[in-house]
Amino acid sequence: MMKVTKFGGSSLASASQLEKVLHIMREDATRKFMIVSAPGKRFAEDEKVTDLLIELGEAVLAGTDTTGFQTKIMQRYQQIADDLKLTDAIMEEIKAQLEKLLTLDVTSPEAYLDAVKSSGEDNHARLIAAYFNQAGLKAHYVNPLQAGMIVTNEPGNAQILPQSYTKIATLRQLNDIIVIPGFFGYTETGRICTFSRGGSDITGSIIANGVQASLYENFTDVDAIYAANPHIVSQPKEIAALTYREMRELSYAGFSVFHDEALIPAFKAGIPVQVKNTNNPTAPGTTITTKRQAIDTPVVGIASDSGFCGIYIRKYLMNREIGFGRHVLEILEDCQLNFEHMPSGIDELTIILREDQLTEAVKATVLNRLKQELAVDEVKIQHHLALIMVVGEGMNHNVGITAKAATSLANAAINIEMINQGSSEVSIMFGVKEADEKKALQVIYQAFFD
């Protein structure tokens, strides 16, 4: 029984937050590995240390004055150190680390920025380990290089290399609490490289896999994952248990506490993930597992995302033309366009894709090629579409889900522009106009949860 426990930026933003974190780590001796983020926002208008570091790094690259940023960053750590009455030693260490950043090789700006950014987590891990020890809870800072986090050389999008896991497994032998900075690893040539969005979550997931943890705890600032976006649906139901697939489908439509891909390493090792609230640690939170027992309700959550458009193509007898669909997709591929869905009628098909990819130039190319190469009867673009995802393992072969959702939309006089049901066994997707997105989410939520 051994847990990997990750804390987000807001959970580590101030001395008072760190006291809660100390309490959480102390009360459960199985919390052996701790993954930390850089200090986040203490209040809405606050600046994240990571953002300050990016500004610092860009100033260095631009050759402009950096002192302002250095001071701000030091002040954040100093404030915490003062409030926790830490010894000067730790602040000396952090100061030295920050000054070192100004001396690093800048020939590769991307790599340089990665090194600067990563120091936010790195220094905070050093500070937290010092704080725990001073408070009598034995802890050791372990740098990702010592931890064996070897990654590909892709700044801002590093991928863990398979050989890392053997080294990580040996961390089990260490005593006391191991504090590891999240968000980055080291290339085979020893250069720092950061992960993508949700970087600290990725570190936690990788460590959980490597040390074969019994649970991966993800502490953030919400009590649970909600059945719908709380900014659209007031006081949505908390989700007690989710499967990885449900999480994935919900995340797809821009809805998630953390980036779902971060969970893959834990998922592959079959390690359950628990989302908990640092500010309310006794709340049960949300558990994400491979399988879910007793599916009380067929639908666990409803998500939505906007910014889609549809390329509508009509050609008489298109489905008798072998290669027509392939040719359409080839034109998209040549334009480097990712498409999401391709609903089709008779003699008609629509390609649903994210609108931001479709620049005027690309649009013109696509439309011209479709007209010329495929001699289509009609082609037009429908803008401003939103997708609503109704998600739940329980819905597979559960008759009536579509009827219920479609009826709630009909009653609200919302037209369904598109429906995608067929492949996925855990979700149904409704396409609506962006203007109807919020209303659609609300009425479908009511239909299934009220």
34, β-bridge pairs: 5, 179
CA 186 to chain centre: 21
Find the shortest distance in angstroms from Cβ 405 to a second copy. Answer: 8
Find the shortest distance in angstroms from Cβ 316 to a second copy. Answer: 8
Helix axis angle, 437-449 relative to 401-411, nearest 10°? 130
Give strand ranges (E) for 147-277.
177-181, 184-186, 192-194, 215-220, 225-226, 238-239, 241-243, 273-277
For tokens 């709340």, the residue is 283
Find the shortest distance in angstroms from Cβ 385 to a second copy. Answer: 10
CA pair distance 257, 60, nearest whole angstrom: 33
Find the shortest distance in angstroms from Cβ 204 to a second copy. Answer: 20
CA pair distance 205, 283, nearest whole angstrom: 22
Any known ligand binding at 121?
yes
Nearer to a second copy, 10 or 251 (CB): 251
Nearer to a second copy, 339 or 449 (CB): 339
| Nearest in space to 318 (alpha carbons), one of 354, 387, 370 | 370
Any known ligand binding at 87?
yes
CA pair distance 140, 134, nearest whole angstrom: 12
Concatenate the DSSP letters of all residues of 383-403 into one string: EEEEEEEEE-GGGTT-TTHHH
Rounded to the nearest 10°, the torsion over CA 416, 420, 340, 355 is 0
DSSP state of 5: E
CA pair distance 336, 330, nearest whole angstrom: 10
Find the shortest distance in angstroms from Cβ 401 to a second copy. Answer: 8
Residues at the site binding a second copy, with contacts judged by CB under 8 A: 248-249, 252, 261, 310, 312-314, 317, 319-320, 322-323, 325-326, 329-330, 332-333, 336-350, 352, 397, 399-400, 402-404, 406-407, 409-410, 413-427, 429, 431
Find the shortest distance in angstroms from Cβ 394 to a second copy. Answer: 13
Find the shortest distance in angstroms from Cβ 184 to a second copy. Answer: 23
Encode 94-106: b = buried (16+ Cβ within 10 Å), e = exposed: bbeebeebeeeeb
What is the enclosing helix (H) or strand (E) of 15?
helix 15-27
Any known ligand binding at 5?
no
Nearer to a second copy, 100 or 327 (CB): 327
Query: Residues annotated in the binding site, as ranges?
Result: 87, 121, 220-221, 226
Query: Residues annotated in the binding site for ATP, as ranges?
Result: 220-221, 226
Query: Residues annotated in the binding site for substrate, as ranges?
Result: 87, 121
